[in-house]
Amino acid sequence: MQIKTLQLENFRQFRGISKLEFSCDPVKNVTVILGNNTFGKTTLLQAFNWCFYGKVNFDQRSELLLNYEIAEEMRLGEQKNVEVEITLMHGNFEYIVTRTQNYTRVNEYTMPKNTTPITRYNEEEKNPSHVKVSYKDLDGQTKALKEHEIKEVINNILPEDLSTYFFFDTERVNSISKRKDVAVAVRGLLGLSIIDNALRHLGDRDKKVSVIGNIYGKMDVSSDSKAQEFLQQMQIATERRQQIAAQIQECKAQIEKYEESKEELSGILRDNEATTKLQHQKEDLEKKIEAEKAKVAGDIEGYFKEFNAGALAFFAQPLLKKAEEYLKETQIEETSVSNLTKATILEILKRGRCICGREFQAGDEIYKHLEAEMAYVPPESVGNSVRYCLEKIHKFFYSAKQTYNRLDNSYKNILHSQNLIQDFEDEVELLREKIAGKENLHHYAASLDNAMYKLRELNAKKDQLHQEYGIQKNEQERFQKLYEATLANSDENKSLMNLINYAEKIREYLDEIYKNKESIIREQLEKKVNEIFSQMYSGERRVEIDESYNVILQAKVSGKEIDSGESEGLNRVKNFAFIAGLVALAKNKILVEHSDKNFILSEEPYPLVMDAPFSNADELHTTNISKVLPEIAEQIIMFVMKKDWKYAEPVLREKIGKQYFLKKITETFTQIE
Amino acid sequence: MFAFEISNIEPERMNIMIYRILDLEKKNLKTKSINREKIVNKIERIIIEEAKKLR
């Protein structure tokens, strides 16, 4: 494919009709469009995307493609078109792709026809643009493609899945999806769709709109009831097998969905491992704060209880001190026998005999002495009362001291806990600042657990379905053999069966070719991409291409190759090397070898359309890119800032076939010179 | 797995069939000038024509 022209009508800042003719010269294969920032370089790149795929990616006002000045000038009810037309060569055909969008002024806003003012451009069904594709046949006749064929043809010419590579926006290179499956697009580009389509069209005995299914359906079973019975059994097994196959597909789709989700969540959690640690620390501290607060509450309650119980003794101390001093100073003659009570003396008097054994009579001297003694024994004894009082005072003193010590300790504990709480809260605040905005990681971890659980469940289901599928397949094949053996009696059937055998042999052969080619192509592509990558990057990294044709950077660490991740600059070089490798491979012949006549699957040159290829690149990098570019692609179209051009120009001078300048007239009007 | 074996298969004939089928697919990929049903019929005709030449 080579792009001959690009014509714009009222597309964004390109007011009126602007046309660019691109160099298709095999030697001077570079077309340069020079312009400063905001002059419309990215708009030109987007014009390709819009024309081919109906999609644009502008930072501002994506919904309005019509030139803003024209939109403002339109009267109510007036209509204007935005149109982009690309002429290109692909194979031996010349194609013209034209995309148009009609705008009508419906009120103070200018909006696409049949839409409301709030309609956004990207919602294609609400805001349709119309695309037409015509091509010149080998005999020079121009034919228009039917509407439903257009998307497929454009995708065959330049697959949409690879559009971000072919229309390479260097400054938005990160928008290229890392995990997108571009396998179908790459295989298509390298000619494998031809074999793939042939395989689909040959089909199998179950598919009615296929060669094999068609011939199989022509077999006559009406005369043989046994054959009909086998056919019926075979159809039941086939139907069941197809149902199971659909369930397996559904299961696989779900597995893929959960795998993607698992990968994404693991990535988020991996990227935020440090945050997770901080979050755990924060949670631990929060728990400690809660525990400490509970302890303080208990301590305060204990403090008040202690206070209530010991306050009397404590606050009575000065008074009791005075009482103690007074009582100590009081001289009371203490003649009584210690611990002798009035009741004891009364008992002795009643007995009439002293403890020492002497007998006495009421009224004698001993009797009177004992009677007198009663005045000094409790409860009447003042001395004893004083002694008891002092003992009690001392107990009070002891209790007050204990109360003081306990309250003091308790108060210190409360203060200590409150200090701890303050420290913990300060730390939590610090952690909160560090993890601000990333606090929802638990939610991701829970979602990851859920995804893993679902994956286990789905994989088990898939295994079970595969088993059932195998059983039904055996059944189907068994009845098929019986059916075919029964049919062999008819000559017509025999001849049809022969054709089926041929078709199946061809399918088998092509299937094998497809698998071989696919693996060879991926190997060659990886080699080519690494060649180009090493010309532009000096380091230990190498590029690996996986089964979905994703490009992964590998670095050697301790003798092992690991997925090394990438910076924006490296990502740019990597993606550039990928598309350059793909383009370089596509222009070489990709063959199906036959005994005497090889079949050429693909031998197609491809262009590279690049916006700001030297953006942020140093002199060496710019020189490297400038050397590599014209060698790998048949056609280079690049939009370059004037300041970036000074290092590239000396290298590319001999290769420039056409050169244009963008001239900014106003903010919303650019001319091409 | 076939109920009948191909009795007189000629590698050359098979190659011609394959070449013609791929050529048809290649042309159709560029222009989509014929729909699925038609291309299936065309391939079937190629196989019938080439198989006839065997006898």
DSSP string, A213-244: HHHHHT---TT-HHHHHHHHHHHHHHHHHHHH
Instruction: Quote the pTM value.
Output: 0.58
Chain A: nearest CA to B55, how far in angstroms?
Answer: 11
Give residues 72 to 111 of A whose Cβ lies within 8 Å of B.
Answer: 90-91, 93
- Those residues with Cβ within 8 angstroms of residue A46's Cβ, 6 or more apart along the chain or in another chain: A12, A56, A57, A58
Inspect the interface and report whether the beta carbons of A91 and B30 lie closer than 8 Å. yes
Chain A: nearest CA to B22, how far in angstroms?
Answer: 6
Q: Is there a domain that residue A249 lies in?
A: yes
Residue A77 pLDDT more than 90?
Answer: no
pLDDT for the residue A4: 94
Grade residue A17 by pLDDT with cuts at 50, 70 and 90. very high
Q: Is there a domain that residue A482 lies in?
A: yes
A621 and A600 share one domain: no
Cβ of residue B3 closer than 8 Å to a chain A Cβ: yes
Tell me the per-residue pLDDT of A439-450, one tens digit each, with 9 for 90 and over. Answer: 667 788 888 899
How far apart CA B28 and CA A52 sit, in angstroms, is 20
- A30: β partners: A636, A656
Grade residue B1 by pLDDT with cuts at 50, 70 and 90. very low
The sign one gets for the Cα dihedral A48, A51, A53, A59 is: positive
Domain boundary among A582, A605, A628: A605
Inspect the interface and report whether the beta carbons of A594 and B2 lie closer than 8 Å. no
A479 and A575 share one domain: no
pLDDT for the residue A146: 85
Residue A120 pLDDT more than 50?
Answer: no
Question: Which tokens is A553 given?
Answer: 């950077």
Number of structural domains in chain B: 1
pLDDT for the residue A126: 52
A458 and A584 share one domain: no
Q: Is there a domain that residue B2 lies in?
A: no
Helix axes A441-487, A225-271, angle to 10 degrees: 160
How far apart CA B50 and CA B45 sit, in angstroms, is 8
Nearest residue, CB atoms, B6 vs list A487, A498, A594: A498
Domain that holds residue B30: 11-52
Q: Is there a domain that residue A514 lies in?
A: yes
Looking up residue A10, the CATH number of its domain turns out to be 3.40.50.300
Q: Percentage of residues in chain A with pLDDT exceeding 90?
A: 25
Q: Is there a domain that residue B22 lies in?
A: yes
Of A109-118, A390-399, A595-604, which range is least confident? A109-118
Q: Is there a domain that residue A11 lies in?
A: yes
A22 and A154 share one domain: yes
Domain boundary among A404, A425, A446: A425
Grade residue A247 by pLDDT with cuts at 50, 70 and 90. very high
A474 and A499 share one domain: no
Determine the average pLDDT of the residues in A585-591. 73
Tell whether ipTM is more than 0.95. no
Residue A46 pLDDT more than 70?
Answer: yes
Domain that holds residue A459: 221-272+438-489
pLDDT for the residue A294: 93
Cα Rg for chain B, rounded, in angstroms? 13
**How many residues would you count in chain A?**
673
Chain A: nearest CA to B8, how far in angstroms?
Answer: 10
pLDDT for the residue A300: 93
Of A66-70, A209-213, A413-417, A603-607, which range is least confident? A603-607
Give residues 574 to 613 of A whose Cβ lies within 8 Å of B.
Answer: 592, 594-595, 597, 599, 601
Of A96-110, A258-272, A318-332, B40-54, which range is least confident? A96-110
Residue A123 pLDDT more than 60?
Answer: no
Q: Is there a domain that residue A199 lies in?
A: yes
Nearest residue, CB atoms, B15 vs list A195, A197, A595: A595
Q: Are strands A79-90 and A656-666 parallel, antiparallel or unpaired?
A: unpaired
Q: Is there a domain that residue B1 lies in?
A: no
Nearest residue, CB atoms, A201 vs list B5, B33, B43: B43
Number of structural domains in chain A: 4
Chain A: nearest CA to B48, how far in angstroms?
Answer: 7
**Cβ pairs bridging A and B (under 8 Å):** 115
Residue A510 pLDDT more than 50?
Answer: yes
pLDDT for the residue A536: 76
Residue A459 pLDDT more than 50?
Answer: yes
Residue A39 pLDDT more than 50?
Answer: yes
How far apart CA A404 and CA A495 sit, in angstroms, is 115
A305 and A339 share one domain: yes
Question: For residue A93, which residues of chain B lie inside 8 Å, CB to CB?
Answer: 30-31
Question: For residue A484, which residues of chain B lie inside 8 Å, CB to CB?
Answer: 3-4
A187 and A225 share one domain: no
A132 and A259 share one domain: no
Q: Percentage of residues in chain A with pLDDT exceeding 70?
A: 87
Tell me the per-residue pLDDT of A611-640, one tens digit each, with 9 for 90 and over. Answer: 888 777 777 778 888 888 888 888 999 998
Q: Is there a domain that residue B18 lies in?
A: yes
Angle subtended at Cα A143 by Cα A140 and Cα A147, rounded to the nearest 5 degrees: 160
Q: Is there a domain that residue B41 lies in?
A: yes
- The three-state secondary structure class of A48 is helix
Asked if A238 contacts A217 with a C-beta cutoff of 8 angstroms, the reply is no
A460 and A371 share one domain: no
A135 and A37 share one domain: yes
Q: Is there a domain that residue A177 lies in?
A: yes
Residue in A with minimal Cα distance to B31: A153
A485 and A495 share one domain: no
Residue A492 pLDDT more than 70?
Answer: yes
Inspect the interface and report whether the beta carbons of A510 and B18 lie closer than 8 Å. yes
pLDDT for the residue A632: 82
Determine the average pLDDT of the residues in A536-562. 74
Q: Is there a domain that residue A87 lies in?
A: yes
Residue A541: closest CA among A570, A576, A521: A570
Of A3-7, A418-422, A550-554, which range is least confident? A550-554
pLDDT for the residue B2: 31
- Those residues with Cβ within 8 angstroms of residue B41's Cβ, 6 or more apart along the chain or in another chain: A214
Cβ of residue A218 closer than 8 Å to a chain B Cβ: no
Domain boundary among A392, A425, A458: A425
A210 and A229 share one domain: no
Q: Is there a domain that residue A153 lies in?
A: yes
